[in-house]
Chain A
């Protein structure tokens, strides 16, 4: 039995775990069943009026987004051109998969959630997970029919972030409390204010750069900031969302400069 624990460290037992999860995963779906049935039923029973107002609301929202996207496309092209001028590389677009949360609870002292997509859909561990508002966490363990997601608020989770206003780099560590992140690694004279937006910096390689993570909470403005404890609130609705996005960020950079293309050509 002690052998099992030591052998776990070498990751050699992953296939065994995958095989055994075939037995246990039906249980996860079984526990989730009454809740999802109830939700489906309440969806089916919503009145015509609420649907109509919701539809109008969504139409309006889509119109706003579309006009914003018009500008975005031009900006993206411009960005690529500018990066080409700087002989830099440009990151390829990311591919996403929508996964639904299973309402089960593994351990109350950990912030780990289970979703209904696993290695069958190509999910692998350490993939970033987002929702419509920001970063949720990363895939912690992928099983054939489900996968475990560690939230950014888990006490064992840290995410490299950047202050959007001035590019200050730091690390946001999970606090173990829902809707709170700690920023412990800030120097005394750091230029950070309440209300600053934190975005992923892309350092560390797990999370793609530029996604919103959280907003810095209020803290007392004193001359000696090291005493005050700076915290942030995650942008993502960690405890309310049922749909999450699992992201494949392409780690290979697309070369844009002329010499880079030439060197890659003979390979083909």
Chain B
């Protein structure tokens, strides 16, 4: 694969994911909006771990922080941790069937959401609604879509 082309692809998909993250959905759907950036990062670090690593995760984490107006570094930390996990297990993950992968993704999203929950509570001990956890489930479901779409993009 040509280096430059795949770089453009990586950035384009991540930017698209960031756009999806702030899409103006109606309230009932907005609580389901999964963490697209993390899903795309997981895919790339699984597919080409030698290219997309923790530095990507950290950089896009910081950008997501600024985009979403979160505490500085909370997405950066969560993403770096998850991508570290993915890098550790990427050989096994590639062999897994899609259903088994989605279980792993579920775990990743749960850890990331747990970290974010902790940071949000640190900022202001507000009563977060239980719908805060819904993106973990919707993210696991959308992993099937992300996986197929990203594979088409990668092989294109």
Partner of B30, one of A8, A13, A108: A108
B103 is an interface residue with CB less than 8 A from chain A: no
Q: In the bound complex, do residue A112 and residue B71 qualify as a contact, i.e. CB atoms below 8 Å apart?
A: no
Q: How many A-B residue pairs have CB under 8 A?
A: 84
Contact B69 A112, beta carbon cutoff 8 Å: yes
Binary CB contact string for chain B from 121 to 142 against chain A (1 if under 8 A, 0 otherwise): 0001011110110000000000
With contacts A1-B76, A4-B76, A24-B18 taken as known, whether A156 is within 8 angstroms of B69 at the C-beta atoms is no
User: Which residues of B lie under 8 Å from residue A140 when comparing CB positions?
Assistant: 69
**What per-residue 1/0 map shows which CB atoms of B9-31 lie under 8 Å from chain A?**
00000010011001111010011
Provide the A136-161 mask, 1 if CB < 8 A to any CB of B, else 0. Answer: 00001100000010000001100000
How far is A232 from B15 in the complex, measured between Cα atoms in Å? 41
B99 within 8 A of A: no
Kindly state whether residue A105 has any CB partner on chain B within 8 Å: yes
Q: Is the CB of B131 within 8 A of A105?
A: no
Which chain B residues border A107 with CB–CB below 8 Å?
A: 68
Which residue on B lies nearest to A16, using beta carbons?
Answer: B72
> Within the complex, what minimum Cβ distance (angstroms) separates A42 from chain B?
16
Contacts of A148 in B (CB 8 A): 69
User: Contact at A5–B72, with CB atoms within 8 Å?
Assistant: yes
Whether A108 and B31, one on each chain, are in contact in the complex, defined by CB atoms closer than 8 angstroms, is yes
Say whether A109 faces chain B, with CB atoms less than 8 Å apart. yes
Instruction: Give which listed residue, B18, B22, B80, contacts A105 with CB less than 8 A.
Output: B22
CB of B73, distance to nearest CB on chain A (Å): 3
For B71, the chain A residues whose CB sits under 8 A away are 5, 8
In the complex, what distance in Å separates the CA atom of A51 from the CA atom of B120? 47
Q: A109–B74 contact, CB under 8 A?
A: no
Least Cβ–Cβ distance between B59 and chain A, in angstroms: 10
The answer to the question of A176 belonging to the interface, with a C-beta cut-off of 8 Å to chain B, is yes
Interface window among A27-35, A55-63, A184-192, A210-218: A27-35
- Provide the bound-state CA to CA distance between A140 and B33, in Å: 23
Partner of B66, one of A24, A30, A104, A155: A24
| CB contact between B67 and one of A7, A28, A35, A155 (< 8 Å): that residue | A28
Nearest opposing residue in chain B for A104, CB measure: B22
With a cutoff of 8 Å between Cβ atoms, the chain A residues found around residue B128 in the complex are 109
**B77 at interface, CB cutoff 8 A:** yes
Interface of B, helix, strand, loop or mixed by DSSP: helix
Q: Say which residue of B62, B67, B131 sits within 8 Å of A108 (CB atoms).
A: B131
B73 closest partner in A (C-beta): A4
Q: By the criterion CB–CB under 8 Å, are B23 and A105 in contact? A: yes
B104 at the interface (CB under 8 A from A): no
- How many Å lie between the Cα of A20 and that of B61 in the bound state? 12
Q: Kindly list chain A residues whose C-beta atoms are within 8 Å of the C-beta of B129.
A: 109, 176
Q: Say if the beta carbon of A17 comes within 8 Å of chain B.
A: yes
Using a CB-CB cutoff of 8 Å, which residues 96-110 of chain A contact chain B? Answer: 103-109
Neighbouring B residues of A155 by C-beta, 8 Å: 126-127
Contact partners of B74 in chain A: CB under 8 A: 5
* A27-B33 contact, Cβ under 8 Å, with A1-B80, A108-B131, A109-B129: no
Q: How far, in whole Å, are A35 and B27 apart by their CA atoms in the complex?
A: 17
Q: Is A21 positioned at the interface, with any CB of B under 8 Å from its CB?
A: yes
Per-residue B-contact encoding for A171-213, CB less than 8 Å = 1, 0 else: 0000010000000000000000000000000000000000000
CA distance A4 to B66 in the complex (A): 13
Query: Which of B22, B67, B128, B131 has the most A CB atoms < 10 Å from its CB?
Result: B22
Q: Does A253 contact B (CB under 8 A)?
A: no
B84 shortest CB reach to chain A, Å: 12
Q: A125–B15 Cα gap in the complex (Å)? A: 28
B residues with a Cβ closer than 8 A to A are: 15, 18-19, 22-25, 27, 30-31, 33, 58, 62-63, 66-69, 71-74, 76-77, 80, 119, 124, 126-129, 131-132
Complex A-B: 7 CB contacts under 8 Å: A5-B74, A23-B66, A30-B19, A31-B19, A105-B23, A107-B68, A141-B69
